[in-house]
């Protein structure tokens, strides 16, 4: 219900009115990834969830066994070899394997696989997002607020900074959280896999209006994105209603 209300609110107020009805499916979900980085994070999530569930079930089964046959369980589970394998070797081997795997994935996520086709600077401000599209030379080409347009299938580099307190930039469908730290520029590289609309949110409590610090990510075909960018470069025009009144 909330999601429908959110989509309706944004649709009525912005360019989203032109998007197909299916655009809002999985609007804000880390379990519905739409970039290689987000897919890797989701895979780790399921790996940890599946592994933790298997260990929980195993421990519950051993607990039930111990309660139903305490003497026999005491002999089997209390044996020195069982304690070394189950209490020491198993957790050390498992946690080490997980550590190596997650470090490798974290390295893949941090190192952009390809040079960016687009650089976007996002500035966190209490309590909104300034979005600057940068030229190759690093100057601001076009600026928007609370709405990020991206081309599908093209690598994008975000340069993230803040002008006041710590914020955290989070697009659950497209990437993990990344903090915006005063005095620092952090970077994030993604490649959205298909057109769609997703919602992002500040993930670091930053003040009274923190919960309202949200934004939309509109991923379009490269042709639509180029057309949108070209339209944004045009000088602002007065609203139609205002022109009507002048007639
Ligand atoms: Cu914030």
CA distances from 208 to 152, 171, 173, 212 (A): 35, 21, 26, 9
CA distances from 172 to 1, 80, 192 (A): 19, 46, 12
**Tokens of residue 71, six digits:** 């003497």
Q: Running DSSP on this structure, what letter comes out for residue 32?
A: S
CB 198 within 8 A of CB 23: no
Q: Running DSSP on this structure, what letter comes out for residue 88?
A: I
- Using CA atoms, how far apart are residues 102 and 109, in angstroms rounded to an integer? 10
Nearest to 219 by CA among 24, 46, 52: 24
101 pLDDT band, cuts 50/70/90, is: very high
4 pLDDT band, cuts 50/70/90, is: low
**Tokens of residue 214, six digits:** 């949200």
- Alpha carbon dihedral 218, 222, 223, 228, in 10-degree steps, equals 40
- Using CA atoms, how far apart are residues 23 and 157, in angstroms rounded to an integer? 24
pTM of the model: 0.79
From ligand 1's centre to the CA of 168, what distance in Å?
6
**Residue-wise pLDDT tens digits, 104-158:** 988 888 887 788 999 999 999 999 999 999 999 999 999 999 999 999 999 999 9
From ligand 1's centre to the CA of 225, what distance in Å?
27
- Alpha carbon dihedral 132, 136, 138, 140, in 10-degree steps, equals -30
From ligand 1's centre to the CA of 176, what distance in Å?
16
From ligand 1's centre to the CA of 131, what distance in Å?
14
**Residue-wise pLDDT tens digits, 55-82:** 999 999 999 999 998 888 888 888 899 8
From ligand 1's centre to the CA of 116, what distance in Å?
26
Nearest to 152 by CA among 105, 113, 118: 118
From ligand 1's centre to the CA of 195, what distance in Å?
26
**Residue-wise pLDDT tens digits, 214-226:** 999 999 999 999 9
Domain map (residue ranges) of the chain: 36-110, 118-233
21 pLDDT band, cuts 50/70/90, is: very low
Would the CA dihedral through 207, 208, 210, 214 be positive or negative?
Answer: negative
Say how many C-beta atoms besides its own lie within 10 A of residue 115's C-beta: 8
Say how many C-beta atoms besides its own lie within 10 A of residue 229's C-beta: 16
From ligand 1's centre to the CA of 198, what distance in Å?
18
- Using CA atoms, how far apart are residues 42 and 166, in angstroms rounded to an integer? 25
**Tokens of residue 106, six digits:** 């974290």
**Tokens of residue 35, six digits:** 């970039």
**Residue-wise pLDDT tens digits, 143-202:** 999 999 999 999 999 999 999 999 999 999 999 999 999 999 999 999 999 999 999 999
From ligand 1's centre to the CA of 166, what distance in Å?
7
- Using CA atoms, how far apart are residues 190 and 169, in angstroms rounded to an integer? 13
From ligand 1's centre to the CA of 16, what distance in Å?
24
Does residue 14 carry a pLDDT above 70? no
From ligand 1's centre to the CA of 244, what distance in Å?
39
Looking at domain 118-233, its CATH class is mainly beta
From ligand 1's centre to the CA of 246, what distance in Å?
41
CA distances from 196 to 26, 35, 204 (A): 10, 12, 25
From ligand 1's centre to the CA of 125, what distance in Å?
7
């Amino acid at each position: 219900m909330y999601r429908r209300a959110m989509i309706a609110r944004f649709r009525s107020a912005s360019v989203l009115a032109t998007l197909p009805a299916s655009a809002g499916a999985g609007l804000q979900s880390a379990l519905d990834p739409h970039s290689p980085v987000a897919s890797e994070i989701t895979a780790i999530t399921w790996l940890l969830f599946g592994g933790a569930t298997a260990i929980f079930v195993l421990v519950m089964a051993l607990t039930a066994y111990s309660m139903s046959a305490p003497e026999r369980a005491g002999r089997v589970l209390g044996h020195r070899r069982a304690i070394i394998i189950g209490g020491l070797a198993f957790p050390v081997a498992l946690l080490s394997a997980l550590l190596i795997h997650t470090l490798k994935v974290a390295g893949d996520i941090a190192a952009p696989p390809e040079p960016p086709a687009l650089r976007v600077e996002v500035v966190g401000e209490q309590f909104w997002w300034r979005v600057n599209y940068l030229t190759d030379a690093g100057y601001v080409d076009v600026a928007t607020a609370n709405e990020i347009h991206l081309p599908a299938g093209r690598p994008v580099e975000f340069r993230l900074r803040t002008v006041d307190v710590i914020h955290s930039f989070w697009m659950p469908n497209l990437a993990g959280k990344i903090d915006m730290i005063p005095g620092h520029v952090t970077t994030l590289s993604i490649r959205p896999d298909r057109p769609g609309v997703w919602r992002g949110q500040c993930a670091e409590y930053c003040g009274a209006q923190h919960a309202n610090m949200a934004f939309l990510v509109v991923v379009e075909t490269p042709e639509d994105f180029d057309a949108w960018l070209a339209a944004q470069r045009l000088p602002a025009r007065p609203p139609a209603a205002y022109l009507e009144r002048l007639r």
